[in-house]
Amino acid sequence: MPILPLPHNHGQTIEQELKCMPSVENFQTAADVFKQLGDGNRIRIFWLLCHCEECVINLSAMVNMSSPAVSHHLKQLKTAGLIISRRDGKEVYYTAAATEQAQLLHHMIEDIVEITCPSKKERGELA
């Protein structure tokens, strides 16, 4: 355990926290998952795949993007372990992975959108 250069006595037990602190690798894994939030289109694609299984062509139409651009985002999401794919003949279908990371990220996206975006009712769009 490191010896702190400036010992403070604020009633905190930082030594106990340091013993429980995850490894640098664990924090990097978390950062890699959060990197997926760095692009709004990738978030939309991931959100859709949390609700359905779809191929690149249909995803492209759903998000109004080119197939190569969607494929690029799918590769990043798959590398991060957030989505999975399956082949059926010539088509490849994608869906969200059934992992805690994917589920947590999906819930975070929905919560953030709900918190930060005004609802239709608040904007007067609903009667």
Q: Is the dihedral of CA 76, 77, 78, 79 positive or negative?
A: positive
Residue 47 sits in a domain whose CATH number is 1.10.10.10
The pLDDT-based confidence of 123 (bands split at 50, 70, 90) is low
Q: Which residue in 77, 82, 111 sits closest to 96, CA to CA?
A: 82
The number of domains in the chain is 1
Q: How far is 21 from 37, CA to CA, in rounded Å?
A: 24
At 85-121, the pLDDT tens digits run 999 999 999 999 999 989 989 998 988 888 877 665 5
pTM assigned to the model: 0.75
Residue 32 lies in a domain: no
Does pLDDT of 60 surpass 60?
yes
| Angle of CA points 74, 79, 85, to nearest 5° | 55
Residue 104 lies in a domain: yes
Residue 91 is part of which domain span? 39-127
